[in-house]
Structure 1
Amino acid sequence: MSVETLVNEAGTSSDIANLNINGERLWQSLMDLAQLGATPKGGVCRLALTDLDRAGRDLFVKWCEEAGCSITIDVIGNIFARRPGKDNSLPPIMTGSHIDTQPTGGKFDGCFGVMSGLEVIRTLNDHNIVTEAPIEVAVWTNEEGSRFAPCMMGSGVFIGKFDLEETYAIADYEGAKVGDELKRIGYLGQQQVPGHKVGAYFEAHIEQGPILENEEKTIGVVIGCLGQKWFDLTLKGVESHAGPTPMSLRKDALLGAAEVIQAVNRIALEHQPYACGTCGHIEAYPGSRNVIPGEVLVSIDFRHLEEDQLAHMISELEKVLEKLKTENGLELELKPTANFPALYFHDDCVNAVRTGAQRLGVPHMDIVSGAGHDAIFMAEVCPAGMIFVPCEDGISHNEIENADPEDLAVGCNVLLHAMLERSGVC
């Protein structure tokens, strides 16, 4: 069937190029949701499985039920709002994201993807369009990981990557456990995991970086996500008095950490494009101004789109660490803390996003995601793709996070057309 037509209930055809979401309605949904946990600086604090998270979930469920969707909740609290299709035996074409936030989060991270999915359903209702397969919007539990670690918890349990009982037992800093909090807020569902089959998964998201804005593009066609390997490095020297100890006889753990930090930056620059290297956390012991640091903990975050390049970056770091052992006399322990493989999204989904942007005539470019998203896990069980829109100055995970309403509307329109491309009705 032609990609230029859709079949609606009346049996007539409508031009797909003229089908648009309601941008004002999308914006209002985002602003209404942002009131739940609103902060004085204009952001949102709505941590996973809190009362505010429950309020956000309740509002989403209410809106979806008003749009004629059925609601299913699984045993880790993921919410699935389904609009029926012509053939409900087909696996749904799914979109979604999360509504939990960072402690100093913004209005759009995650929430844009969820509200875009709702707006797609509302638009299909407005035009009486029947899709061949069902359309489904997911709200994933605890994507941020800011209250409970790890991040992307709900989608991880959904695909069977995380054990359910172990996840229930994870506690926050105050001792509250995931399983107990799911019960408390009323979102411990019955649908079992691993979850139901999905025909394709799309996720619309703000970029959380400056590339689209810098390149003056409205749509980022996400071709893949950077692999991530995280480490905690402990360096041990000898703490001693800062005055009587000659420079040539010192075993300064912090000086070793400084060499590591410089090396991480250098290695990332040498493995462009796509490479990132960050040391975002450091602790020095004993932490006194006139004592040479005897022990230092430094975090290392390496990212790359190609697994072999990521492995080479780590190999280069290990050479630096060996030098610190032999020439500086430091003891070292490199402990892995996270490992997310690099991935390319499915060609069919990437092409559906690109085709949607082309059909709408909006400036677009291929881009890779440097951050983690639920789409990464969903790509392990079904064809998946992502859509990026710019955010102001590339700022995210910040109360001043901002996005242009027109850009958000375009991103939602691309999502609509990409989902229809995969839905079997066009």
Structure 2
Amino acid sequence: MDMQTSPATALRIDGARLWKSLMDLARIGGTPKGGVCRIALTDLDRQGRDLFVQWAREAGCSIRIDAIGNIFARRAGADDSLAPVMTGSHIDTQPTGGKFDGNYGVMAGLEVVRTLNAAGVRTRAPIEVAVWTNEEGSRFVPVMMGSGVFAGAFTLEHALAQRDAQGVSVAEALAAIGYAGQAGAAPAVGAYFEAHIEQGPVLENHERVIGVVQAALGQRWYDVTVQGMEAHAGPTPMELRQDALLAASALVAEVNRIALDRLPHARGTVGSLEVHPNSRNVIPGRVKLSVDLRAPDDAQLLDMDAALRAACARIAAERGLAIGVEQVVYFPPQPFTPHLVEAVRANAADLGYSCMDVVSGAGHDAVYVARVAPAAMVFVPCADGISHNEIEDADPAHLEAGCNVLLRAMLASAGVVA
């Protein structure tokens, strides 16, 4: 049966049930300020994983765990040989995390399964809900570890060997919580959708309910060292100084300008400064700073890279000192699959939800999955654009709307059997 003429188009998720799932999960690692601290591969993470697995099995799903600890809950399709239509996100949090980042995408996937079960809808292709390991990267690096291994961005061996600040490896931590699964090639995915809070203020500022995510911004991160000469703050005349902090301050302004010159989607941030010798009456001789540049396509990102390097050369010459630039991270821009993006947009409109095209400024598991499968994302607003914070919040009606769009988009890809 064509999904467009199927009674399945009348399906709506149970918003109260979705909210309850989120609140029940949030109790595991809940903080006094109302947030969640559930760090990857800790015992609290195990408890969260166990609860998801319990709920998924109660919903009739089979469970598969891979060697990096990713969990896949599978609802069988009429033709189980077809590649699954997958959704999901992560349930690990920042140390001062909230209830919705990542958790919403997992609970929304579970709610899709529960809704299909309650309505007796059978999909042609299987449906899977993924819980990706260590998305946040607050205990182990690299970030987005589980989806990165799945997509081949880095090897399983590399990921398993990474250690936290106490020297515990990923392999040891997985074994300790009972989620060291079976190695093997990642299976094919027919389509992947990820529902997520926006983690920024755009949707709220534009009073839109659904963000139709076009792409994730590419990122280039740099370590920059400004080398001047420390000297006594009193005897050294202003015109004879090689003040590294003064030069670094000019560079901070340049990073801001580079992004402002490339609106609307370019981003430029200096998030860290280390001043040496950091003494009240010594002219700073060395400053190390981080630079984070983001853009929606590689051409613009490379243009920003060139502008940064030119600014460093000019400031160094003007100030009579040296500036070294080392790129330390590169995430290429990741466009999402046009027909899946259009499915999100069309279903949002069909359901009567206001929507707008957006880009993701943050990394998500969907960014890696999109390297190996058709993929799209559904954004909903979060209060004041705040995330990675215990006060992170979202409107239950918006979460319900995003999950309804997710349900419809997944059904369009999976097909419905009469």
Match of 1:390 in 2: 381
Helix, strand or coil: the match of 1:380? coil
C-alpha separation between the residues in 1 aligned to 2:300 and 2:153?
25
Superposed, which structure 2 residues align to 1:246-265 within 5 Å? Answer: 246-265=237-256
- Following superposition, the deviation at residue 329 of structure 1 comes to 2.1
Cα shift readout 1:325-381 (whole Å, capped 9, x = no counterpart)? 322222222111211111221011101111110111111111111100010011110
Distance in 1 of aligned mates of 2:249 and 2:377: 37
Is the 1:73–1:191 contact (alpha carbons within 8 Å) kept by the matching residues of 2?
Answer: no
> 1:423 matched to which residue of 2?
414
Structure 2 distance, partners of 1:131, 1:107, is 30
Matches of residues 240-319 of structure 1 in structure 2 within 5 Å?
240-319=231-310
Q: CA deviation at 1:15?
A: 5.1
In structure 2, the residue matched to 1:411 is: 402
Q: Which residue is equivalent to 1:68?
A: 60
Structure 2 counterpart of 1:370, one-letter code: G
Q: Deviations over 1:189-225 (max 9, x none)?
A: 01424x1100000000000011111111100011111
When the two structures are aligned, how many residues end up with a matched partner?
417
CA contact (8 A) 1:237 1:331 kept: yes
Q: Give the structure 1 partner of residue 37 of structure 2.
A: 45
8 Å CA contact 2:135–2:145 kept in 1: the answer is yes
1:3 corresponds to 2:6: no
SS of the residue aligned with 1:412? Answer: helix
The answer as to 2:165 corresponding to 1:173 is yes
Which residue identity does 1:301 align to in structure 2?
Answer: D
- Which residue identity lines up with residue 4 of structure 2 in the other structure? E
Determine which of 87, 92, 105 is the counterpart of 1:95.
Answer: 87
Cross-structure match for 2:318: 327
**Counterpart check, 1:80 vs 2:72:** yes
1:374 correspondence with 2:359: no
SS in 2 for 1:298: strand
Q: Distance in 1 between matches of 2:210 and 2:45?
A: 29
- In angstroms, what is the RMSD of aligned CA positions? 1.0
Specify which of 201, 210, 213 is matched with residue 219 of structure 1.
Answer: 210
The answer for the alignment partner of 2:352 in structure 1 is 361
Q: Which amino acid aligns with 1:348?
A: H
What is aligned with 2:338? Answer: 347
Report percent identity of matched pairs.
Answer: 60
Counterpart selection for 1:189 from 158, 166, 181: 181
Contact 1:72–1:191 (8 Å) recurs in 2: no
Task: Tell me the equivalent position of 1:11.
Answer: none
Q: Show the counterpart of 1:164.
A: 156
Amino acid paired to 2:291: I
Q: Is the 8 A contact 1:325 1:331 kept in 2?
A: yes
- The aligned residue for residue 141 of structure 2 is 149
Residue 63 of structure 1 aligns with an amino acid whose one-letter code is W
8 Å CA contact 1:98–1:111 kept in 2: the answer is: yes
Structure 1 outlier segments of 4+, above 3 Å: none
One-letter amino acid matched to 1:292: I
Residue pair 2:30, 2:37 contacting (<8 A) in 1 also: yes
User: How far does the alpha carbon of each residue in 1:81-109 deviate from its partner, in whole angstroms, 9 at most, with x for none?
Assistant: 00000000000000000000001000000
Q: For residues 65-95 of structure 1, what are the alpha-carbon distances to aligned partners after superposition, in whole Å with 9 as ceiling and x for unaligned?
A: 0000000000000000000000000000000
Instruction: Quote the residue 1:129 is aligned against.
Output: 121
| One-letter amino acid of the structure 2 residue matched with residue 408 of structure 1 | L
1:3 and 1:134 mapped to 2: Cα distance? 15
Q: Which amino acid aligns with 2:132?
A: W
Instruction: Give the whole-Å Cα distance in 2 for the aligned partners of 1:352 and 1:191.
Output: 34
Tell me the distance in 2 between the aligned counterparts of 1:152 and 1:311: 24
Return the letter of the residue paired with 2:413: R
In 2: Cα distance, 1:170 partner to 1:333 partner: 28
Which residue does the alignment assign to 1:140?
132
CA distance in 1, matches of 2:106, 2:312: 44
The residue number in structure 2 matching 1:208 is 199
1-structure distance, mates of 2:321, 2:239: 14
Q: TM-score, normalised by structure 2?
A: 0.98
What residue identity is the alignment partner of 2:3?
V
Find the aligned partners of 1:15 and 1:30 in 2 and give their Cα distance: 25
Counterparts of 1:93 and 1:54, CA distance in 2 = 26
Q: 1:200 to 1:294 in 2, by over 3 A?
A: same
Shift of 1:165: 1.3
Task: Please say if residues 336 and 375 of structure 2, whose CA atoms lie closer than 8 Å, have aligned partners that are also in contact.
Answer: yes
